[in-house]
Structure 1
Amino acid sequence: MLVTERRERILALTRANGTASIADLAAQLRVSEMTVRRDIDLLADEGVVERVRGGVRMRSAARTVAAPVVSPERRAIAEAAAALVEPGMAIGISGGPAALALARELVQVPELTVVTNALPVSDLFSPPERADAPYTQTVVLTGGVRTPSDALVGPVAVRALEHLHCDLVFLDVHGLDVQAGITTMNLLEAETNRALMAAGREVVVLADHSRWGVVGLTTVADLGDIDRLIADEGLDDDARTQLAAHVGTLQIAPLD
């Protein structure tokens, strides 16, 4: 069973009863409890489920509508990334919690064109209710496979990106590693993120310090393909040295 299929099964089993235990999920999926915990951690980071003692539960409707809790590190990264955006720009934003935090920082920027394959990001940039309010254009990559984090990935999204051009592309990543580069757990997401990167004049990666040393299932791109990497102060000195030697610019976002 592929990783993406396993996580879809976890979601389906959890949705059926509202909650599920790690032991039951491991038994039904025939994998270790550690594997299930890792899957749950990723799904929780994406805001799809909530961790509970010994298991997982679906987020309630009220919690889903509310803005997710953003860590101080991701908030600092989002604020630093938002400072790069100017009115009138065309920008690309991937799926992921850091990317969504950035989108929330940008909703008031006027005349901004947003290219995104993330449905939660798209929802933030809906037309204003008042005619005199700043209007933000949104391009949603329609079609493709919908991931647990509500991103649209696959060949349809890739083809839509082939003829688009962005001033900046902001990419949220699952992991960063010197040998493996930028990685993700979803093969189709890797393909789509590569196309999103190719559409940008400058690629800005958003990654808090916990992403360093994490290696996902497949490589999206090499570290050398990153024009600017925005991380937080939790990144240790050794990691900073290694990353600075490979990426175009390493920017450390200060915590308040």
Structure 2
Amino acid sequence: MSDNQNLLAEQRRALILDEVRRRGGVRVNELTRKLNVSDMTVRRDLDVLARQGAVEKVHGGAVPVADASSHEPGFEAKSAMEMSAKEAIARAAAELVVPGSAVALSGGTTTFALAQHLLEVPDLTVVTNSVPVSNVFETARRSQARAALPQQPRGSAVVVLTGGTRTPSDSLVGPVADRAIEGLHFDVLFLGVHGISVRGGLSTPNLAEAETNRRFVESARRVVVVADHTKWGTVGLSTFAPLDAVDTLVTDSGMPGEVREEICEHLRELVVAGEPRTAEAP
């Protein structure tokens, strides 16, 4: 399958997911007319979304998952969602990083994508509670060691993994992680979220992860949320920060125009991957 076909499939599934969330459920025949695709294509898309834990299939269509506020998909399941959007967000977010910074990366598949771009930024100190993020830097370090490079590579980083109890999304949380974070000070925090909204702020379905994320936010001079457009309007079980705690939101071009206007009313800066940056509000 070509990249264009993959992209179209991702866009189509994003539209289906938006429709399910907005209307509280959709029927297959409605989607075939709206998207101008076959019944079989819609059913395949619903199968994919159901496997990812994004929707629940019912006879003739799909509805939102019943326990959306407390349901936490695993890392692998979330990795398959909005892949193109996450990659675009990661590239845009990496441009915000200054060489020599102390950077914190929370758990999540978008921060995992970002970590791979940070390999090229020199002299970073990276603190993370994400096992996959830590593995990105460790794999790069081992690869450089095997190559027996004569000098320290340009993108080398000092990485600190917090420790703690592992969540379904491969984040380390709990008292050990909280104590490791609370005594540190970061130039910038890149934060992945389960949901973001005006009412719910930044939220997660995991109570222990909420507390660890609070410590991250309290320890950061600048808070940057990296979240694709499907996260807007989602509210998890526990809010760990209000929307005004966020300095910058980096998202993708799938974010609707009216939502962008709403975001700009509450945040200092909105960065849409692939589009020119707007001036940051004072």
> Shorter-chain-normalised TM-score: which range?
0.7 to 0.9
> Which amino acid in the other structure matches residue 259 of structure 2?
A
How does the TM-score come out when normalised to structure 1? 0.73
- Mapped to 1, the partners of 2:119 and 2:182 lie a distance apart of 26
Q: How does 1:1-256 map to 2 (within 5 A)?
A: 34-35=65-66, 42-43=73-74, 46-47=75-76, 49=77, 71-126=83-138, 127=141, 128-129=144-145, 130-131=148-149, 132=151, 133-134=153-154, 135-142=156-163, 144-254=164-274
Q: Which structure: greater strand fraction? A: 1
How does the TM-score come out when normalised to structure 2? 0.67
- Counterpart secondary structure, 2:103: strand
- Mapped to 1, the partners of 2:222 and 2:266 lie a distance apart of 15
> Which amino acid in the other structure matches residue 193 of structure 2?
V
RMSD: 2.7
Q: Which residue of 1 aligns with 2:27?
A: none
- Report how many residues are paired: 206
Paired-residue identity, %? 43
Q: Specify whether residues 171 and 37 from structure 1 end up closer, same or farther in structure 2 by C-alpha distance, changes over 3 A only.
A: closer
> Which amino acid in the other structure matches residue 257 of structure 2?
D
The CA deviation at 1:37 is: 9.1
Q: Specify whether residues 94 and 41 from structure 1 end up closer, same or farther in structure 2 by C-alpha distance, changes over 3 A only.
A: closer
- Mapped to 2, the partners of 1:70 and 1:182 lie a distance apart of 19
- Counterpart secondary structure, 2:178: helix
- Mapped to 1, the partners of 2:187 and 2:93 lie a distance apart of 13
The CA deviation at 1:201 is: 0.9
Instruction: Provide, for residues 157-202 of structure 1, a one-character-per-residue CA deviation record: whole Å limited to 9, x for no partner.
Output: 1111111111110000111111111110000101101111111110
Contact 2:197 2:232 in 1 (8 A): yes
Moved over 6 A (4+): 36-41, 67-70
Contact 1:94 1:117 in 2 (8 A): yes
Unaligned runs of 5+ in 1: 1-19, 23-32, 51-66
- Counterpart secondary structure, 1:88: coil
Contact 1:90 1:168 in 2 (8 A): yes
Instruction: Provide, for residues 27-63 of structure 1, a one-character-per-residue CA deviation record: whole Å limited to 9, x for no partner.
Output: xxxxxx94489988832xx21x59xxxxxxxxxxxxx
- Counterpart secondary structure, 1:238: helix
> Which amino acid in the other structure matches residue 158 of structure 2?
Q
- Mapped to 2, the partners of 1:75 and 1:119 lie a distance apart of 19
Contact 1:209 1:232 in 2 (8 A): yes
Contact 2:72 2:206 in 1 (8 A): no
The CA deviation at 1:86 is: 2.2
- Counterpart secondary structure, 1:108: coil
- Mapped to 2, the partners of 1:114 and 1:68 lie a distance apart of 25
